[in-house]
Structure 1
Amino acid sequence: MDTVRIDLNLLRVFHAILEERNLTVAASRLGLSQPAVSYALGRLRALLEDPLFVRAGNEMQPTSAAQELREPLRQAIAAAEQTLQLMVPFEPSTSTRVFRISMSDIGELAFLPPLCAALQKEAPHVRLCIQSVPPSQIEESLRIGRLDLAIGNLPALLDRTPHCRLFHDDHVCMTRRREGLPEDVLTLEQYLALPHILVGSLESGHYQIEAQFREKHIHRLIALRVPHFTVVPRILARTDWMVTLPRGAIHLLNPDEGFAVYDLPADMPVLTVTVHWHADFKDHAANQWLRNLIVRTLSGPLHESL
């Protein structure tokens, strides 16, 4: 295949059909007529020697070959959009740029409400795309522009990417209020006697505490492993289990104070929440503006215990 002769507009049509699964809707999205989209699809089929889509009722179902192309094509289009945005002067009040930020689910709960409020005030047309990217992939994603910024407790990135500290935090533990619990101080023996919920994957910042426990030869009974914090309060309310979490998450997951919260009965390193970017975008106006907005919005006394 002579890729030099390929009309790249055909890829935009392909992507729109993949997303919309309907020729009419895809045409409307692209500002084209349906015959023009059908013609482009015919050219793609001939070029790639695959039907790409088969009609099923009102939907266009992608073939296996089309499905395999979906993610690489999405990444290519996103990279092209990011590249073109670099050429446009950035004005927050009028920009329609899409910023891609990595953060955890607890980060979404804590950071997005104040951040979205600040964006609505200063850049009402800017859009956010929030992703949860494994720490091992963040540096590369920042380098190629798949991510603009990453926010979180990311110690592995501190020596590898430019960053700015937002705030410090520490760990506490939380369980359902009930008779028999200590009033103020939880001993390590009492802590280890309870089943625990472990939040996070092997690459999650929240999972690091488990490695730190092992280094101290502290072994918890893990009753449940889940990838997100958001379900934890509903589980705690129905069990006698315990979860270990950042202190700043208490007001998000325990707003009615229905859970007992204790200082962690073991010394653990302080958490440092940082915002990261890639050195190649250090002086890029849009990236610089967004990270400055994040620092202003998420650091300081309001968030020192988030």
Structure 2
Amino acid sequence: MSKLDRLDLKQLRVFQALIQEKNASKAANQLGLTQQAVSEHLKKLRDVFDDRLFLRKTNGFVPTPFAENLAIGVDKLLLEFSALLSPTVFNPETIEGTFVIAATDYAQQVVLPGLISQLRKKSPKLKIIVRDFELDKVNELMESGKVNLAIAFPDYIPDSYPIIKLFEEHHVCVTSPKASIANKTPTLAEIASYPSIIASPSRPNFKGSIDDWFKKFGLKRNVVVSAPCFSIVPMYLETTDSIAFLPSRAITSLDLIEIALEESPDSFDVIAAWHPRYNEDALQKWVVSLLKAE
């Protein structure tokens, strides 16, 4: 009997669940199987592929390098099988399931309200999970299928992933109407020395993307507060005599004053990205088309 004859679809689904969950019990729950059944399927998979596939650790499994490489092909194969059983015409109104979006704090404020509104109107049976964008885990989450779409900035996304540019954005210098610098026209040197608040959602520190821009002028910012997200910064500005550089679309309708600058910071792109395995997935293509139309 050939190896192909010893392999069936259920075993591949067990393999995919184990890659995603890294835990036999969780994989069993995902598939509606017993843990013993998962173990039996894993035993057959190990025999077919002549590899351990998963190594035990304290609270689950760690995939072997062979298993990690195999996962890409298995995901693609299962998607193709799924396509065979799906209607040839994609209908958003009847599509069911869950779509997971990882988005930066900024994208959650600016991009997702419009997208989620569209999804709820056009695909009412589709459930949506929005999770924070985790820079250190984005590749792992997208490769494992735990995230379908990421909305962030180009530097945050692996080069091998397909992307679309949503729009171009730029930072503006803002402060509270009560701040001592409000309604003034300070020099860049005065801006650099003024107490500044930054948003550092990826890693908690006192460095921001604007620092390199200031270096061009031989200046260093006086950063006094580092916040974990953009959305909280306006509240801190309200209670402190300080300034912040925030994306222009994130301050619409807020009670903030924009400070005119001698020079403008470099613009940057806001993008959407996904794993290459979803290039031909009908739901993925449709969601991306909604973003393009925004």
Quote how far apart the aligned CAs of 1:65 are.
Answer: 4.0
Q: What corresponds to 1:131 in structure 2?
A: 131
1:87-106 residue pairs with structure 2 within 5 A?
87-88=82-83, 89=86, 90-106=90-106
Q: What corresponds to 1:261 in structure 2?
A: 258
Q: What corresponds to 2:114 in structure 1?
A: 114
C-alpha change, 1:275 and 1:293, in structure 2 (3 Å) is same
Structure 2 stretches lacking a partner, 5+ long:
1-6, 40-56, 63-71
Matches of 2:156 and 2:27, distance apart in 1: 38
Paired residue type of 2:97: R
1:115-264 residue pairs with structure 2 within 5 A?
115-135=115-135, 137-139=137-139, 141-155=141-155, 157=157, 159-178=159-178, 180-181=180-181, 183=183, 185-200=185-200, 201-202=202-203, 207-251=208-252, 254=254, 257=255, 259-264=256-261
Paired residue type of 1:234: M
Structure 1, residues 109-150: CA drift from partner, whole Å, max 9, x if none? 112221111011111111222233344653554344332222
Matches of 1:216 and 1:160, distance apart in 2: 34
Q: Which moved more, 1:81-90 or 1:161-170?
A: 81-90
Paired residue type of 1:223: V
Count of aligned pairs? 249
Provide the TM-score with structure 1 as the length reference.
0.64
C-alpha change, 1:264 and 1:163, in structure 2 (3 Å) is farther
Q: Which moved more, 1:275-284 or 1:207-216?
A: 207-216
C-alpha change, 1:137 and 1:202, in structure 2 (3 Å) is same
Contact 2:183 2:259 in 1 (8 A): no
Q: What corresponds to 1:75 in structure 2?
A: none
Quote how far apart the aligned CAs of 1:195 are.
Answer: 0.9
Quote how far apart the aligned CAs of 1:159 are.
Answer: 4.9
- The alignment partner of 2:258 has SS state of strand
Contact 2:153 2:271 in 1 (8 A): yes
Paired residue type of 2:116: C
Paired residue type of 2:283: A
Paired residue type of 1:110: V
Paired residue type of 1:283: E
Matches of 1:186 and 1:272, distance apart in 2: 28
Q: Which moved more, 1:148-157 or 1:188-197?
A: 148-157
Contact 1:85 1:97 in 2 (8 A): no
Matches of 2:149 and 2:107, distance apart in 1: 13
2:25 aligned with 1:14, yes or no? yes
C-alpha change, 1:133 and 1:183, in structure 2 (3 Å) is closer
Quote how far apart the aligned CAs of 1:221 are.
Answer: 1.0
Identity %: 24
- The alignment partner of 1:181 has SS state of coil
Matches of 2:115 and 2:139, distance apart in 1: 23
C-alpha change, 1:83 and 1:127, in structure 2 (3 Å) is farther
Q: What corresponds to 1:290 in structure 2?
A: 287
Paired residue type of 2:117: A
Matches of 1:215 and 1:221, distance apart in 2: 16
Matches of 1:247 and 1:178, distance apart in 2: 20
Contact 2:149 2:272 in 1 (8 A): yes
Quote how far apart the aligned CAs of 1:157 are.
Answer: 4.1
C-alpha change, 1:197 and 1:179, in structure 2 (3 Å) is closer
Provide the TM-score with structure 2 as the length reference.
0.67
- The alignment partner of 2:174 has SS state of strand
Structure 1, residues 68-109: CA drift from partner, whole Å, max 9, x if none? 569xxxxxxxx9999856615353212222222221112111
Matches of 1:228 and 1:218, distance apart in 2: 25
Matches of 2:181 and 2:143, distance apart in 1: 49
C-alpha change, 1:262 and 1:179, in structure 2 (3 Å) is closer
Quote how far apart the aligned CAs of 1:209 are.
Answer: 2.4
Paired residue type of 2:161: T
Structure 1 stretches lacking a partner, 5+ long:
18-25, 45-63, 71-78, 298-306
